[in-house]
Chains A and B, each alone.
Chain A
């Protein structure tokens, strides 16, 4: 199991989803990743679509201002 990180706070639609998707596709079963993202569209949709695609969203925490961190595991 490895731990990864991705920062998509500076990205705009649709690259927020594109980068998150390509990042998640690199994970092996059991791997965990932390994704930093902005409130609004990315926070509303990245965890939702990850769940739909079979990943586990372990945690979502507010970091600062409009920045949030979600922790995702590939089962």
Chain B
């Protein structure tokens, strides 16, 4: 068997379309035998929150307000032409209609294929979040140095 390839993705955006790109690449790479690591930072953390819509979570008034505005995986805005949240719903419908995997399906596939999820310690601190605010599949909370060590020898993408 060939040596295992590795893909590491820095997921910074909280935009619906960019998060789809993250989980498309992650699940696809894991399916063809890559070791895949995703480092979620800032708005990217919205994808791995336990809450999937707009909720007041975190510690501190401003952090709770920010987290409410940011929402979760099922309330991500499209990067352009969001139309108050209507476009992601339309886009998901179009994807289903064309037999293309939706964000939830790609997310579930990434989990089923054991993609490694990591949360950024610094961004969590700013947003008043703890590991308990994230889905249990989040393997660890990391800083830059640990992520660089983890991604060493593979390909790294910033989305």
Contact = CB atoms under 8 A, between A and B. Distances in A.
Given A14-B27, A14-B101, A49-B33, A21 B1 contact: no
Contact of A18 (B1, B31, B98): B31
Given A17-B28, A45-B32, A22 B113 contact: yes
A22 B112 contact: yes
Contacts of A15: 101, 105, 109
Interface residues on A, range: 10 to 19
Interface string B31-44: 11100000000000
A21 B32 contact: yes
Contact of B113 (A21, A45, A52): A21
B112 A11 contact: no
Q: Main SS of chain A's interface residues?
A: helix
B99 interface: yes
A13 B33 contact: no
Contacts, number: 51
Contacts of B90: none
B2 interface: yes
A22 B27 CA distance: 11
B117 to A, nearest CB: 17
B31 A14 contact: yes
B42 to A, nearest CB: 25
30 contacts: A10-B99, A11-B99, A12-B98, A12-B100, A13-B28, A14-B24, A14-B28, A14-B31, A14-B101, A14-B106, A14-B109, A15-B101, A15-B105, A17-B31, A17-B32, A18-B101, A18-B109, A20-B31, A21-B32, A21-B33, A21-B113, A22-B31, A22-B112, A22-B113, A45-B32, A49-B32, A52-B1, A52-B32, A53-B1, A53-B33
